[in-house]
Each structure stands twice: as C-alpha cells, then as structure tokens.
Amino acid sequence: MWDSYRLKTAATGVKRLATLSAEDKQACLDAYRFFQRMQAGEQTDTAQETKAVADYYKVLNNMLSVFDLEKLYIPPMLDDSKGLYDNQILTEKALLAELDLPHPSSSHLLDMGCGRGRIAHHLATLTGGQVSGYNIDPDQVDNGNDWAARCDMSDRLHFKVGDHHEPLDYESESFDGCFSFQAVWPFFKKEELDLHAREMYRVLKFGARYACSEYLLTPFFDWSNEEHVALHRLYLPTLAATQSMYPADVCAALERAGFHVIVSAPSKSEAWPLCEQKRDLILHGRRVVRALEKIKVAPGWVEESLDLLQRGGEAWTQAERAKLADLNWRIVAEKR
C-alpha cells in the first residue's frame, strides 16, 4: 500500500521530470547511448564515464522516485511477503549489524555514493549517531540535504558532492564505519581499485569496518562465453553501471590496503523477483507516461528511456537467475 509520503515523492518526481531543462534531458539520453557504445567496445576514460554517470543519474533519480525507487538500489528478497521498500529496510538493518558498532549513538558513518541520503537517514535513526555521505550528482545531494532539514536532522546528516575517483574529502581516521549500496564497485576499473581501497582505509578509525551490498560478477561469469557477454552488454547500461568487477579483485585491493576481509559472499537471496515487480510497475506506468506525452506534460524521451530500462531489466533477470551476477554481493572488511 502506498502511503502519503510515497505518493508525494512520486508527484514531486513527475514535476521535476516535467521541469528539467532540455539540456539535462538530452545529456541523460546521450549518457545512456554512451553506456551502450561502451558495451559495444568503444574505449572510454574514467572522466568521461563519470560525467555520463552524473548526467544519467540526475534524471534517473527523479524518474525512479516516481516508481517508488527513491533509494536507488534493488535489495535481495529477504522476505517474500513484503515489497521492495520493506526489503530495503531489512537489508539496511542487516548491513548495520555487520558494522558491529561498539557505541552506535556516538558513531559517525560514511555512506559512499549516498544517493538521496535516505539510507543514511535510516541508519542515523537506528544508531542515534551521525552519517555523512557524498555523491557525484548535486541533484541527489540537494535532495538529501533538504530531506535532512525537513526531518530536523541536519546536525546528524551531512551530504556533499564528491567523487570516488578523487581522494575522499574527509579527515583521516574520522569514521566508525563506512558502507555502500550498489554505488562504489560498479564504477571502478580493476587498476583503479587500490586507490579507493586505500582512501577507505585512511578515513576509517582503527578497528572500524566497511560493509556493502554491491553489484559484482559471480565467479561463474566467464568473459570468454559469448552468451554471458551478450547478457552483460544488455543489462549493464540499465544498472547505470560502467564496470563489472569480480569480488576476488575487490577483496584483494581491500587486503592490499590493510583491511582484513571477514565476509565475501553472495546475497542472502535473489533480487530478480523484486526487479520483476518493479518492471511490471514500470510497464503500468508507461500508459500514464503515454497519456502525459499526449497532453505534452512528458516529452517523448521519457518513454524511450523506459523502453531501454525494460529491455535491460529482462537481461538482468536472466543473468541473475543463471547466477552470473549478483546485485547484492556482501563484503565485510575490518581496518587492522
């Protein structure tokens, strides 16, 4: 059942989509085509990829908020009697337990790739402490800060623009834990992992942990298998990701940075049933989008984007069911 908060969020999303500038909308479509060219083999550098990601998410975060995806990740289906939002809540609680905070109420956590800050808000509510977060897209950061102010939590929630590919703009040894939800490893090339792992290590206090729920390939994914590669080409742009890492490569970088990896394991349950639920909702939404297009409230590109989202989503379901990739691979690592 949708409550008034979610209905209001959806309405704001539609309004934002209708009022985004023509440049922003074009940049979003250009970014999607850029992702597709990347998958077709075009050589691109990280700066171009990061720009495309920021342009894409600026529109996508508003579009997905219409479909009740304000937190921009699909969780594992931990409880099949519940919907996507409640499964996100369960996933976030489980991650917080993995951080094993000795003093939750005085803790300060870092949310890497924090989106609109709603996960940070949830964890700050659970711990009673502070959460900082950074994101490449100023639109999401503004939304997070507005929300913190509305909840009267600006003293405990701090969001700013930041880029994983740069040194983190935080003091050394300032956090009691850091975490990420489908926001870090999908944007790194193998040779870039060490730099970020070292930065994570630097900003954490001694004994603090990193925990994540992240898109990674499974060890069954084989780059020399044409079927695997064909699915990957279709689904990766839909995930709005630019890279696909193996858990072993990420863990090796964390270990080289000085972390002790405690857990590296597949998600506790699959995400594809929730992806499919969302796909059905989006299909339903397309009728509304077409109606809005007719009365010129939504421009034609919205439906084109939904179409691309739809086809990539189907490829994702196939890849996940075949256990080739995991949206919620779990890693827990401790600074030692």
Ligand X SMILES: C[S@@+](CC[C@H](N)C(=O)[O-])C[C@H]1O[C@@H](n2cnc3c(N)ncnc32)[C@H](O)[C@@H]1O
Shortest distance in whole angstroms from residue 287 CB to ligand X: 26
**Binder of ligand X out of 59, 63, 72, 123 (CB under 6 A):** 72
Distance CA 171, CA 182 (A): 24
Site string for ligand X, 131-170 (x = CB under 6 A): ----xxx--x---------------------xxxx-----
Shortest distance in whole angstroms from residue 136 CB to ligand X: 4
- The residue nearest ligand X at its CB is 115
Distance CA 215, CA 11 (A): 29
Pairing mode, strands 204-217 and 325-335: antiparallel
Q: Is residue 259 part of the contact set for ligand X (CB under 6 A)? A: no
Q: Is residue 108 part of the contact set for ligand X (CB under 6 A)? A: no
Q: Is residue 278 part of the contact set for ligand X (CB under 6 A)? A: no
Tokens of residue 279, six digits: 């796909």
Burial of 132 (0-12, 13-18, 19+ CB in 10 A): buried
Shortest distance in whole angstroms from residue 291 CB to ligand X: 29
What are the DSSP E strand ranges found in 106-203? 108-112, 130-135, 157-161, 175-181
User: Left (φ > 0), alpha (ψ -120 to 50) or beta: where does 167 sit?
Assistant: beta
Q: Is residue 48 part of the contact set for ligand X (CB under 6 A)? A: no
Q: Is residue 183 part of the contact set for ligand X (CB under 6 A)? A: yes
Q: Is residue 74 part of the contact set for ligand X (CB under 6 A)? A: no
What are the DSSP E strand ranges found in 117-203? 130-135, 157-161, 175-181
In contact, 315 and 235? CB cutoff 8 Å: yes
Distance CA 158, CA 169 (A): 13
Shortest distance in whole angstroms from residue 126 CB to ligand X: 16
Closest to ligand X by CB, 30 vs 106, is 30
**Binder of ligand X out of 34, 35, 57, 147 (CB under 6 A):** 57
Closest CA to 336 of 260, 257, 235: 260
Shortest distance in whole angstroms from residue 192 CB to ligand X: 10
**Binder of ligand X out of 35, 187, 201, 259 (CB under 6 A):** 187
Q: Is residue 182 part of the contact set for ligand X (CB under 6 A)? A: yes
Could you list the residues that contact ligand X (CB under 6 A)? Answer: 50, 53, 57, 71-73, 113-115, 119, 135-137, 140, 162-165, 181-183, 187
